[in-house]
Structure 1
Amino acid sequence: MRPRPLPTLLALTLAAAFGGFAATAIRDGLEAPAQASPAAAALPAVSALPTAVGGQPVPSLAPMLARVTPAVVSVHTKQTIRIRNPFANDPIFRRMFPNIPQERINESLGSGVIIDAKNGYVLTNHHVIEGADEVSVTLSDGRTLKAAFVGSDPDTDIAVMKIAADNLSALSLSDSDALKVGDFVVAVGNPFGIGQTVTSGIVSAVGRSGLRGLGYQNFIQTDASINPGNSGGALVNLNGELIGINTASFNPQGSMAGNIGLGFAIPASLARNIKDQLIANNGVVRRGTLGLEAQDVDARLAQALKLDEPRGALVARVFAGSAAAAAGLRAGDVILSANGQRIDGRDALRNFEGLQTVGGKVALDVRRDGQALQLSATLREQAKSYAGAELDERLTGASFAELPERLRQAGASGVMVESVTRGSRAERNGLQKDDVIVAANAGDFDDLPGFRASFTRPPAQLVLRVMRGNRVGNLPMQ
């Protein structure tokens, strides 16, 4: 027979109250001056707590955690950083200081979750292993193993590694779409590198987005403590099933200041989709896209477009041969929802698209000239990069890619120079790897498809506006 909910809730309340009482007593004892006190004033012993409430045993997470914690690992990374010393190439300086260091090793700690014991697959965050030259994993039983990189997706912050070992434990991925606000959750990880730690809380929100600099977003928000080092660890339900991958915490004073009850986890359903793609596609994620450019709707536009309120994504341009064109979308249409998900503006539509797969069906709620339309689109693959020679011969030797989504969430727009071939025309014209092209006289664009479309009619004189570091300037292409 299942225990009744009321006694269980009462027991949890008593446990929380005791924790607060004990913490207050310890604090007061530290702050008060030391003095003798009569034995009668001693604190009640912990053993005096009841072992049952209302005839029901006080609940414990220990049996569930005994199954979960062996599947949560510590992730240790090493990265070799070359030191830029302005005197390093000076022969006199080198003769005087022959042992000057040329490199240093950066080390960092995070967490991970074994999700396939047979094949040794481990999920973690992309930012935990980003740029690492060497990654090792420490199991809960103390074994340390080298990890092989399978693939990662910076825009959803999911990475997959592989380890080879016997007797591994794994967590099954649950249906995170069934989560509800108020569900109890437990976070397991390695905060601040002090060792495996467990915290608990509830689901504070689901489908959370709009956090700057965190890529495509559909986060589970929780008040379970998620501190630095917990990234990549497990968020589980009370059945010990994986419902999320811990990824971030929010603190106005910075993440190293600690947790204030605002933690975020990537839903297991999304992590499963990204993991499957990374394994099946040799470390590559294929995303679906509508193939359009959009803008936000302000009060003036809302009135002109006969909308009840200033919200939605206004279609500014539909690319030829795109899913949007096949669905019948036109410039001037306003998208208010996609698959039932409210779309408040351009960024919300872009975030929705970034979480969809190639071939996915999307039901669109559209307003056209004040009339409601229901359109259906089948998403097509989003190109990851274009060779400059495909766009304009003056760009030969360069390749262009989408900006990382974390930069877009921070307000950036444009495209990034992914690579520049040594000695190429693009290099002679001054382009460098990691330049951000924010504008061009070829035409307006916000992203990679728009950049390509702007070269339908190449200008006689091509000028790119380039952001390099903190500087912005114009670069003529000869």
Structure 2
Amino acid sequence: MYNDEKNLYHYTYRKDGAEPTLGETLHAAGGQSGPRGPEWEEKPVKKNRLGLKITALALSCALLGGAAGGGAVWAATRAVQNESEINVSSRPVTQVALRSVDGKTQLSDAEIYAANVNSVVSIRTSATAGYNFLGQPVQTASAGSGFVMSKDGYILTNYHVVKGAETVTVTMYNGDEYNATYIGGEEDYDIAVIKVEAQELQSVTLGDSSTLNVGDHVLAIGNPLGELTFSMSGGMVSCVDRAINVDGTPFNMIQTDASINPGNSGGPLFNQYGEVVGIVSAKYSQSSNGTTVEGLGFAIPMNDVFSMVKDIMTNGYVSNRAYLGVTPQTMNESWAAQYHYDVTAGVFITYVEPDSAADKAGLKMGDVITKVDGTEIKTVEDLNLAKKKYSAGDTATLEIYRPDGTVTVEITWGAAPKEEQTQQQEPVQQKPNNWSDGYSGGNGNVDPFDMFRYFFG
């Protein structure tokens, strides 16, 4: 019987005209799989036996040929299915070797993380931010990062992370928690040392931040958002010795495009050898015209603060911070016109402390500092930034403008009075957690961006 389907003719052995199934075809051909076909009723036929044998032989050949064709179709179908198979790798799980930081061997990112994650800590703080209309204290909670400096529990972080904190809680990678004690800090450098009562902690290895080059690979480990604890991000050094200004305080920074977010503050910045070369501190969030910017993170160079950190650990404050002993004022056109000066930029000295470094060097009221060891000084911020490169006892050459001419003066930096240093023994009251300070570039040494400092992260 022929069936007409889409103008194509197909022959079928079925009386109802339907197409035979694959199982029926295989059964008819003697196959074992598939549903059993219908039983055909055999009726005796009184024909010539020789003709019957010939007919049976021809029919058998035809059916065997059909079975062979069906087998070819099945094989082709399976081949098409094999093309859609999913390849699964048999590569075993990579085991990260726990290698020590020796300052000589470059490590993979995974090896740096494994070698240092136990030295990174999560820091949570709480404080009283004020009082509500009922006179009840309003508590705030904030988070940041830090890293272990010594086996007996000294931890380094940013000053702004613990600023104004009443309680400080430190959490290690293994989940151990400690109540931390504030040892001391230096707000102008944004560093603070806290301590937990523990022994045999794993400490970091410090590196030489002056060896960093633009393009070097760096990694940051910290607690972004205060929730994504012990996260690592990576990038490159975008600039070294970048001068930025935060709320009037100048900073010398390592610039990086590694992802830095609230909660990373106080965490370590690692070089390719697994050494700490910086303290993650801040990031740019907006340009001066409100444009959102990305990839502008900053870290305090370890070399700039190492001696101060040791001083805080020993004395509780920075005893060797360079001190000049003057009351400074940024020179401007108004002052120049008032005193008939020929300079409109620099640091105008309005007072000299008796027996100070400035007094011993012969500085006097009315002098204008224009250079420190060849570095141009235009503002008080410039002078403070330049001063950060020195410690008490170091010497420097100042270029001074006076109405009767320009002179050079050799000075030996003094040490800040103890009462001034110990003012930072207890951090001042923090600002609200969502508070941020910014700046607009005001001199040639500062990038023209507005700065978001993420306090407490």
- In the alignment, does 2:202 pair up with 1:172? no
- In the alignment, does 2:161 pair up with 1:128? yes
Aligned to 2:119: 71
Q: Distance in 2 between matches of 1:293 and 1:80?
A: 34
Q: Tell me: CA distance 1:166–1:40, structure 2 relative to 1, closer, same or farther (3 Å).
A: farther
| Partner SS, residue 383 of structure 2 | helix
**Alpha-carbon contact 1:248-1:265 (below 8 Å) kept:** yes
Q: Tell me: CA distance 1:129–1:295, structure 2 relative to 1, closer, same or farther (3 Å).
A: closer
Specify which of 126, 140, 146 is matched with residue 173 of structure 2: 140
Task: For residues 348-379 of structure 1, give each alpha carbon's deviation from its aligned partner in whole angstroms, at most 9, with x where no partner exists.
Answer: 11333356433332222344558654321112
Aligned to 1:162: 195
**Alpha-carbon contact 1:216-1:355 (below 8 Å) kept:** no
Q: Distance in 2 between matches of 1:252 and 1:218?
A: 20
Q: Distance in 2 between matches of 1:198 and 1:272?
A: 24
| Partner SS, residue 209 of structure 1 | strand
**Alpha-carbon contact 1:288-1:354 (below 8 Å) kept:** yes
**Alpha-carbon contact 2:286-2:292 (below 8 Å) kept:** no
Q: Distance in 2 between matches of 1:105 and 1:409?
A: 25
Letter of the structure 2 residue corresponding to residue 145 of structure 1: Y
Q: Tell me: CA distance 1:107–1:314, structure 2 relative to 1, closer, same or farther (3 Å).
A: closer
Task: For residues 28-58 of structure 1, give each alpha carbon's deviation from its aligned partner in whole angstroms, at most 9, with x where no partner exists.
Answer: xxxxxxxxxx99999999999xx9xxxxxx9
- In the alignment, does 2:322 pair up with 1:274? no
Aligned to 1:249: 283
Letter of the structure 2 residue corresponding to residue 235 of structure 1: L
**Alpha-carbon contact 1:202-1:223 (below 8 Å) kept:** yes
Letter of the structure 2 residue corresponding to residue 282 of structure 1: G
Aligned to 1:62: 110
Deviation at 1:268, TM superposition (A): 0.8
- In the alignment, does 2:430 pair up with 1:382? no
**Alpha-carbon contact 1:79-1:131 (below 8 Å) kept:** yes
Specify which of 218, 222, 228 is matched with residue 185 of structure 1: 218
Q: Tell me: CA distance 1:115–1:43, structure 2 relative to 1, closer, same or farther (3 Å).
A: farther
Q: Tell me: CA distance 1:59–1:356, structure 2 relative to 1, closer, same or farther (3 Å).
A: closer
Letter of the structure 1 residue corresponding to residue 280 of structure 2: N
Q: Tell me: CA distance 1:156–1:42, structure 2 relative to 1, closer, same or farther (3 Å).
A: farther
Deviation at 1:136, TM superposition (A): 1.7
Deviation at 1:110, TM superposition (A): 0.9
Equivalent residues in 2 for 1:310-329, closer than 5 Å: 311-329=345-363
Q: Tell me: CA distance 1:60–1:325, structure 2 relative to 1, closer, same or farther (3 Å).
A: same
Gaps of 5+ in 1: 1-37, 52-57, 89-101, 387-402, 412-478
Letter of the structure 1 residue corresponding to residue 122 of structure 2: S
Q: Taking structure 2 as the reference length, what is the TM-score of the superposition? A: 0.61
Specify which of 75, 83, 89 is matched with residue 131 of structure 2: 83
Aligned to 2:34: none
Deviation at 1:112, TM superposition (A): 0.5
- In the alignment, does 2:150 pair up with 1:116? yes
Gaps of 5+ in 2: 1-80, 95-105, 421-427, 441-457
Aligned to 2:39: none
Q: Distance in 2 between matches of 1:373 and 1:39?
A: 88
- In the alignment, does 2:236 pair up with 1:202? yes
Q: Distance in 1 between matches of 2:211 and 2:303?
A: 10
Aligned to 1:342: 376
**Alpha-carbon contact 1:305-1:370 (below 8 Å) kept:** no
Equivalent residues in 2 for 1:4-15, closer than 5 Å: none
Deviation at 1:147, TM superposition (A): 1.8
- In the alignment, does 2:261 pair up with 1:227? yes
| Partner SS, residue 117 of structure 2 | helix
Specify which of 286, 295, 303 is matched with residue 261 of structure 1: 295
Of structures 1 and 2, the larger Rg is shown by 2
**Alpha-carbon contact 2:145-2:263 (below 8 Å) kept:** yes
Aligned to 1:149: 182
Q: Tell me: CA distance 1:133–1:183, structure 2 relative to 1, closer, same or farther (3 Å).
A: same
**Alpha-carbon contact 2:107-2:272 (below 8 Å) kept:** no
Q: Tell me: CA distance 1:178–1:330, structure 2 relative to 1, closer, same or farther (3 Å).
A: farther
Deviation at 1:250, TM superposition (A): 1.6
Aligned residues: 330
Q: Distance in 1 between matches of 2:137 and 2:230?
A: 31
Larger relative contact order (Cα-Cα within 8 Å, sequence gap ≥ 6): 2
Q: Distance in 1 between matches of 2:87 and 2:293?
A: 31
| Partner SS, residue 359 of structure 2 | helix
Q: Distance in 1 between matches of 2:153 and 2:247?
A: 31
Q: Distance in 2 between matches of 1:356 and 1:408?
A: 27
**Alpha-carbon contact 1:157-1:215 (below 8 Å) kept:** no
Q: Tell me: CA distance 1:39–1:225, structure 2 relative to 1, closer, same or farther (3 Å).
A: farther
**Alpha-carbon contact 2:286-2:293 (below 8 Å) kept:** no
Q: Distance in 1 between matches of 2:362 and 2:356?
A: 10
Q: Tell me: CA distance 1:217–1:165, structure 2 relative to 1, closer, same or farther (3 Å).
A: same
Specify which of 368, 372, 386 is matched with residue 352 of structure 1: 386
Letter of the structure 2 residue corresponding to residue 139 of structure 1: M
What's the % identity of the aligned pairs?
34
Deviation at 1:153, TM superposition (A): 2.2
Q: Distance in 1 between matches of 2:437 and 2:340?
A: 28
Deviation at 1:114, TM superposition (A): 0.6
Q: Taking structure 1 as the reference length, what is the TM-score of the superposition? A: 0.59
Q: Tell me: CA distance 1:106–1:314, structure 2 relative to 1, closer, same or farther (3 Å).
A: closer
**Alpha-carbon contact 2:287-2:293 (below 8 Å) kept:** no
Letter of the structure 1 residue corresponding to residue 113 of structure 2: L
Q: Distance in 2 between matches of 1:128 and 1:324?
A: 34
Deviation at 1:215, TM superposition (A): 3.3
Deviation at 1:129, TM superposition (A): 1.6
Q: Which stretch shows the higher mean deviation, 333-342 or 128-137?
A: 333-342
Q: Tell me: CA distance 1:196–1:105, structure 2 relative to 1, closer, same or farther (3 Å).
A: same
Q: Distance in 2 between matches of 1:315 and 1:382?
A: 18
Q: Tell me: CA distance 1:82–1:323, structure 2 relative to 1, closer, same or farther (3 Å).
A: closer
Task: For residues 284-337 of structure 1, give each alpha carbon's deviation from its aligned partner in whole angstroms, at most 9, with x where no partner exists.
Answer: 555332222344445794997566xx6433444434322122213344544333
Aligned to 2:10: none
